[in-house]
Every structure is written in structure tokens, then in C-alpha cells.
Amino acid sequence: MKLYYILLTLIIITQTTIAQTLLSPEQQKEDVEFLKKQLFDAHADPFTELTQKQYIQVFDSIELKIKAPVDITTFLKLIKPAISWLSDEHAGFDLDTSKFSAEFKNAPIFLPFTLKKQGNIYVVDQLLAPNATLKSGETILQVNNVPVAKLINRCTHYTTGFPGQRYQAALAQFGYLYTWSVDSAAQHFSIRTGANKGIIINGTNFKTWYNYRISHAGSGQDCPQMINYTRFGNAGYINSCSFMTHSDKQVDSLTKVIDALFAQAKKDGVKYLFIDVSKNGGGNSQIGDIMINDFYAKPYLGYQCNWRRSDEYLRLIKSWGITDSAYAAKPVGSIIHSDAWQSTPSVDNPSRFNGKVYVIVGNGTFSSAMMFATIVKDNHIAALVGQTPQNGHPDHFGEVYNTVLPNSKIGLRFGVKEWIRPAGKIADNNLRPDITIDLNKTPEEIIKEIAK
């Protein structure tokens, strides 16, 4: 099986101030055309939500707004909606925040709250900054005289993922996405509440929102080790927060660690083993197969794949020193389909655990960790417990392609492969656990609830 690397990039806050570079209209248009060509030529399926004609209209509307030189932050705001229609949860733009405008980096121009929907109304969920006139639970009708439902719809086009995923992000990051979605920033906001009361609130800054987003990201938190094992009475608990590896040597090293952990569980004589990937943001999908080999002995099906042949991706993998003659021989633009692969665990594995296994999933289960858990579910390898992930989905675009827009130097990433779960495409593209549990509980509390 090949190695599949998912490159997950987080924007890092810096306070460096540099002179802002202005992009001429010609440079902006060149970057927009480059972006369109990259998406249309290399993405696994750029027309998932829009037809090609409709997508061209999206780019045409962006180009019509280009009239004068702008800084890079303003240009990023302009092009952000262009990738929202991909239904690609790995898609994104990346820009060193040292290149952000001073206003974006430092000024309190972001609304300080998130939203949630209750019936047909929207209410404040979390307040990121103290506010004497606004409380959690307050109904929000308008912001700056615009109905909140219209604003939420606008915000969905400044994030990425599937439509329902974008909608949830628009609620959970409303105050952050709102500022990206409006033409000009302000430090004070006119709010109309459910009591038809008008109030003025102050904004908060980028750093406050960054810290909030990181703390609520779901994956990669409080995990100094990629994988570790703890015994709780007659149950073992393996916490795996990442599958990220960067070389065959790292895979070999991690394989030895995984084998040793499962061997320890076997030596301890525990009856149950819990494998927690509820905060695992993914990485190398081979790690999931290595883990399965240590608690399952029968053949099982992996993912199907549709892969678009493009010169763009071919150049990228060649720059990594990878030669794929079969891919290179395919016609440009063609879709390469691979049926679900069958994996056969080793016959004699002294580390294999033979007791009852549960896999814990949650909102941080993403990318190759999602693939691992989906393979476990679709092949009935073990029971899934936890919560349905909101940010990751069984069928998704992956094998991330990275490039840089020529003038703005804004990074661009998206998937060149469409991954389809072993069970095939189904209408409900969610990973639903067999047993729902509260993931705010400690591992010991979870074990006591399940292993009765």
C-alpha cells in the first residue's frame, strides 16, 4: 500500500510588522486565472457543487471586482469564496500572517461571539470577550442592519468543506468569518437583539479568535506523544492523537512503538482495549493499517479512489523525488479509478490483542484517522464509540496538492484524490458511532461506562 500524506496547515499568529505589498490589478487577475486553472485541472472533482459554467461565473464575478491595487489581505478576502464550492475539507489558502494588514493583525475588528441555532432563531453561544450589554443565549436578529441569516449564508463561502460543514463553521466561527466576508472592517458593531433592542458592542482582535479556534479545533491538543498506552483495571487505553509521519524510517519506528503497546496490552491480560482517535487529525493512512494488524486477523476492504491525472500534480511529486510512470502515462484530465483494496493482516503476529476492542471517535477525528475508523466500522472490525465527527467525513477529497499563487504568494491546497469508503457512497456521509458517549469524560469514566 502506498503512503498517503495529508498536509494540515494552521495559520500561525505573528506580530511582525512589515511594509504592505500592493498587488496591481494585472497581478490580481493573473493570480485569479492561475487559481482557476489549478482547480479545474488538478482537483479530483471541482464540479461537485457547481457546473463548470457556474464555476466560471464565480471567477468572472471575482475578476469584475478587481479595479485598483490592493494589499494581500484584501486580495485574500476577495478570492476566499473561490474554493468554498469544492466540498473539500482539505482545501484552503495559507498566508504568513506577517503579510496581513496591520488592521487585521492588531485591531479589534472581529465580532466577539459565536452563534448556535435554536429552532428558527440564532442566539449567542460563546462570548470571546467580556461584554456588559450582550450575554450568552441572547437572540441576534441583525448585525449592522443586515439579517443574521443572510450573514451566516455569506460566511459559509469564507470557509471550506461540505455544505453542512460550512454552515456549522459559519455558526461556530461567526464573529471571525463575518469580518472576512464584509467589504470594510469596523471596530464597533450595531446589534439588534430578539427583544428588538439595538446595542453597540466593541470588537475583539485576531489573536483572541486564533486562540479560541485552536482551543476548539478538536484535534492535536494536549498530546505530547503520537501514541501511548495506559492500563485501567481490566481495560487498556491507547491514545493516538496523530498519524503524521514524514519518511519510511519514521513509519518503521512508529510500527515498533505500536507493536510494543499492543504487546503490553496482551501481556497485561486486559479484556478490553480502547483505541482513542477522537482528537487525531490524521497523517499517514498506513498507520491505521498497522494498528488494525495488531487487533484483527481477517482480510478486510479499504477505500476506493478516484484520482485525477494532471501535469500540475505530476510536477509536484517529481519535485519530491517520486516517480510514478503509470500515472504519468495516463491522459491529462482522465480519472484513474482504484477499487477498494483488500488488506490481509499477517498470519502470525505475536503482538496481536485478542480481546474486545472499541475505537473512540469524535470531532477531532479527521483525514486518515477518519479513514481508519471508517474501515473499522464498514468491515465490522470493532465497535465505534463516541460522537459523530463534524469536521471529517468518510467520503472526502484527500492526497493534498500544494502550490503558491504567483504574485500574492498565497499558498493553495486541495485534494487530487476522491476517497470513497469501503461500503461505497451512501446518502449519509457521516461516521456515526455504534455507541454514543460524552467525550468530556475521562478515559477511565468512558471505560467504566462501556466495559460493564
Model pLDDT for residues 205-234, shown as the tens digit of each residue: 999 999 998 887 766 555 677 899 999 999
Query: Is residue 285 within 8 Å of residue 371, measured between CB atoms?
Result: yes
Mean pLDDT across 320-328: 91
| 327-374 pLDDT tens trace | 999 999 999 999 998 999 999 999 999 999 999 999 999 999 999 999
| Domains of the chain in sequence order | 22-101 (no CATH), 108-204 (2.30.42.10), 227-450 (3.90.226.10)
* This prediction's pTM: 0.87
* DSSP tag of 278: T
Residue 157 pLDDT: 97
- The Cα–Cα gap between 202 and 145 comes to 16
* Mean pLDDT, rounded, for 393-417: 95
Which whole number is the average pLDDT over 379-388? 97
Read off the pLDDT of residues 55-71 as tens digits, 9 standing for 90 and up: 999 999 999 999 999 99
Residue whose C-alpha is closest to residue 278's, from 451, 44, 436, 100: 436
Query: Which tens digit of pLDDT belongs to each residue from 258-270?
Result: 999 999 999 999 9
- Kindly state the average pLDDT of the residues 228-249: 92
Distance CA 297, CA 354 (A): 9
* Backbone angles phi and psi of 177, in degrees to 5: -70, -30
Residue 160: per-residue pLDDT = 96
Whole-angstrom Cα distance, residue 416 to residue 398?
Answer: 6
Range scoring the smallest mean pLDDT among 6-20, 89-103, 185-199, 277-291 = 6-20
Give the integer Cα–Cα distance in Å for 146 and 357.
Answer: 51
Q: How far apart are CA 18 and CA 105, in angstroms?
A: 11
pLDDT (average), residues 180-195:
93
Q: Report the distance separating Cα 37 and Cα 31, nearest Å.
A: 10
CA distance 279 to 295: 21
**Residue range 303-311: mean pLDDT, rounded:** 94
**Which residues on neighbouring strands pair with residue 39, listed in sequence order?**
none
What is the Cα–Cα distance from 238 to 443, expressed in whole angstroms? Answer: 10
Per-residue pLDDT at 46: 96
CA distances from 335 to 156, 313, 395, 396 (A): 29, 13, 17, 16
Question: What is the average pLDDT across 283-300?
Answer: 94
Q: How far apart, in whole angstroms, are the C-alpha atoms of residue 394 and residue 400?
A: 16
Number of H-type helices and E-type strands within the chain? 14, 21
pLDDT over 80 at 326, yes or no: yes
User: What is residue 20's predicted lDDT score, i.e. its pLDDT?
Assistant: 59
C-alpha dist (Å) from residue 53 to 46, 374, 396, 422, 441: 12, 35, 23, 33, 49
> Looking at residue 220, what is its pLDDT?
55
Q: What is the 3-state secondary structure (H, E, C) of 209-277?
A: HHHHHHHCCCCCCCCCCCEEEEEECCEEEEEECCECCCCHHHHHHHHHHHHHHHHHHHHHCCCEEEEEC
Average pLDDT for 435-440: 95
Angle at 127 between CA 125 and CA 129, to 5 degrees: 175
The arrangement of strands across the sheet holding 140-143 comes to: 146-147, 140-143, 188-193, 198-202
pLDDT at 218: 64
- Cell numbers 498506513 correspond to 286
Amino acid 35: pLDDT: 98
C-alpha cell of 306?
478516484
Question: For residue 197, is pLDDT > 80?
Answer: yes
pLDDT in tens, 123-157: 999 999 888 789 999 999 999 999 999 999 999 99
- 257 alpha carbon, distance to own chain's centre: 27
Q: Any idea of the CA torsion for 82, 337, 394, 380, to the nearest 10 degrees? A: 180
Please report the pLDDT score of residue 452 as a whole number. Answer: 74
pLDDT (mean) for 7-12: 32
Q: Residue 3: what pLDDT?
A: 35
**Using an 8 Å Cβ cutoff, are 95 and 410 in contact?**
yes
Share of the chain above pLDDT 90, in %: 83
- The string of DSSP codes covering 410-436 is -EEEEEEEEEE-TT---S--S---SEE
Distance CA 204, CA 148 (A): 19
